[in-house]
Amino acid sequence: MKVSKNIRQRGPNTFQVRFYLGKGIDGKGRSLCKTIHCTKREAEKFARELAYKLEKGELLPEFEIKPSFAEFWRTQQKGAAKRLSLTTMERRAKLFRLYIGPVFGAMAINKIRPIDISNALMLWSDKFSPYTVRTVFSSVRAIFNKAVRLKLIAENPCQGCELPKKERRFPVRILSAEEQAAFLKKCDETGALVLRFALLTGLRPSEYLGLTWQDFDLQRGLVRVQRSLKKTTERGFFFGDLKTKSSNRVLFLDVETLEALRKAYSLRRSSTDLVFHNKKGLPISNSTLFCKLARVLKKAGLPHCRIYDLRHSHASILLEKGIPVQAVAARLGHSSPNTTMQNYIHARPEQGAQIAGVLSDLFSGAERRPAPAKNALLPFPSAFAPALIDFGRPAEGVGTFSQGSAFLPNLPPKNAAKAEACPLKTPILTAI
C-alpha cells in the first residue's frame, strides 16, 4: 500500500505528521495524524520510519478505520450481485433488513465480540423458529469469514457459538400409493392438470410452471426441462436458469398424463405458450397453486400436505418399487444420488408392519406368523406404467423433438437453459 505523508509545523518544536492511507472498504478516505514535539529533522525521520511500517502493513491494523457491519455488508452485496440471481439478492436483503441490521448494522465490524453473537442468538431464538435462526446465523458467519479473508478482523466471532437444534421447518408427508391414486382421480375431475403433472413427474414447482408447449414432444411422450419460472418484487415473473446443471434433463411421461396434455393442447385458447397458466393466461402464482392443492386434497378426503410433498411422494414410491436410486436422482435433477438418499427416502407406518412380519418369519416360525397388515403391500397405480408405450399420433403443431435420433430427441444445445432461448409472448414476462 502506498502511503503519502505531510509534515506541518504547529508551534515551536511542535510538528504534525499526517499520513493518507487511501480509501477503505467503505469507499471513504482514511488518514492518520500524529503530533510530536521535536526538531524538524527528528519529525522527518519519524515520518519516514512510520510511513515505511504503514506500507509494510505492520501498524495498519492498529490505525485502520474499520467500516460498520452494515457498510461492509452493502459492499459485499454489490460484488455478489454480478454472480447471484435476483431472487437470492432479494432474500439476502430481507434477512439483513429484518434480522441482522437491527442488531449489528451500526456496530464497527471489528468491535463485535463472541458475546454479542451469543446475545443475538438468544434474542432471535426467543422470537423466531430454529430454522430462521440458523439461516440468519449462516449469513452473519459468512460475512465475518469474508472480513477475516480481507484481514479486517483477526478471527470470526461466530466460532464456538451454540445454535438451536436443527429441525425440519415443515414435516414431510408422503402420500401412499393408494392416496396418490385417489389424489390423481380428483385431479382429473377438477381439471387440476398441473397437480397431476407435479405428482407424476416429480419436477420442482419452478420447473413445471415454466414449461412451454415447445418443451414437449407429444408424439414420443417426452418433456425437456431447460428453464425455471421465477418471480421478484421488482421484476415480477421472468424466466431464469435451473437450480443445477443436472436439472437440465428429459423425462418420459405416463399414458394418462400424456393424453391429458394432448387434450389441453387441442383446447388451448390463451395467447401465451405457457402450459400451466391461470384464466387470464398469466403464470400461476404460489397462492393459486396452494389453493388448487387444498381443494383437491379436500375432495379426495386426504390430510393436508405441501406442494413439495408431491415431489417427495413421487421419489419415494419410485424407490419403493425398486427403481435404482441413480435413475430416480436423474429424474429429480439431482447432481448426486446421495442427495436423493438423504432427503427423499422416507419410511411410512405400514412399512413397520412389513418389518415385523419379516422378523417373525425369520425367528418365530411360519406357524406363528401374524396376519399381514391391511394395505401393507399396496398395488402400484396404473398411472406409473412403464414408458414403453405407443404414444399414438402427436397433437398437431407439437413435436419439437420429433426430428431426433431413434432413442432421444434432437435436444437443444447445452446453453439452451438460458432464458433467451424461449421468451414468453405475454408482456409481463421478461427474459434474463
Mean pLDDT of 398-417: 40
Q: Is the pLDDT of residue 405 over 50?
A: no
Which of 16, 46, 63 is the C-terminal boundary of a domain? 63
Please state, as a whole number, how many other Cβ atoms lie within 10 Å of the Cβ of residue 297.
19
Sorting pLDDT into bands at 50, 70 and 90, what band is 294? very high
- What are the cell numbers at 411? 435436444
Q: Is the pLDDT of residue 266 over 80?
A: yes
d(CA 316, CA 30): 59
Residues 141, 262 within the same domain:
no
Residues 117, 228 within the same domain:
no
In a domain? residue 145? yes
Q: How high is the pLDDT of residue 292?
A: 92
In a domain? residue 362? no
Sorting pLDDT into bands at 50, 70 and 90, what band is 179? very high
Mean pLDDT of 272-276: 85
In a domain? residue 249? yes
In a domain? residue 172? no
In a domain? residue 170? no
Residues 80, 49 within the same domain:
no
Query: Residue 119 belongs to what domain range?
Result: 69-149
Which of 63, 81, 102 is the C-terminal boundary of a domain? 63
Residues 141, 212 within the same domain:
no
Residues 45, 73 within the same domain:
no
Which of 131, 149, 167 is the C-terminal boundary of a domain? 149
- Which of 290-294, 407-411, 425-429 is the most confident on average? 290-294
Q: Is the pLDDT of residue 50 over 60?
A: yes
Residues 55, 102 within the same domain:
no
CATH number, position 230:
1.10.443.10
Residues 271, 382 within the same domain:
yes
Q: How high is the pLDDT of residue 420?
A: 39
pLDDT tens for each residue of 58-117: 655 444 556 788 888 888 888 777 777 777 888 888 889 999 999 998 888 888 999 999
Q: Is the pLDDT of residue 197 over 90?
A: yes
With helix as H, strand as E and coil as C, how does 258-322 read?
Answer: HHHHHHHHHCCCCCCCECCECCCCCECCHHHHHHHHHHHHHHHCCCCCCHHHHHHHHHHHHHHCC
> Could you tell me which of 373, 209, 88 has the C-alpha nearest to residue 96?
88
Q: Is the pLDDT of residue 299 over 50?
A: yes
Higher pLDDT, 361 or 127: 127
Residues 326, 193 within the same domain:
yes
CATH number, position 132:
1.10.150.130
In a domain? residue 162? no
Q: Is the pLDDT of residue 189 over 70?
A: yes
Q: Minimum mean pLDDT among 32-41, 82-91, 349-358: which range?
A: 349-358
In a domain? residue 257? yes
Strand 14-23 and strand 29-37: the pairing is antiparallel
Mean pLDDT of 111-139: 89
Q: What's the domain count of the chain?
A: 3
Q: How high is the pLDDT of residue 65?
A: 54
Residues constituting the chain: 432
Q: How high is the pLDDT of residue 57?
A: 59
Q: Is the pLDDT of residue 322 over 50?
A: yes
- CA dihedral for 183, 187, 192, 196, sign (positive or negative): positive
In a domain? residue 367? no
Residues 268, 249 within the same domain:
yes
Residues 98, 124 within the same domain:
yes
DSSP state of 99: I
Q: Minimum mean pLDDT among 286-295, 349-358, 422-431: which range?
A: 422-431
Residues 237, 317 within the same domain:
yes
C-beta separation of 295 from 224 below 8 A: no
Residues 259, 318 within the same domain:
yes
Torsion of CA 59, 62, 64, 70, to 10 degrees: 150
Torsion of CA 394, 396, 400, 404, to 10 degrees: 50
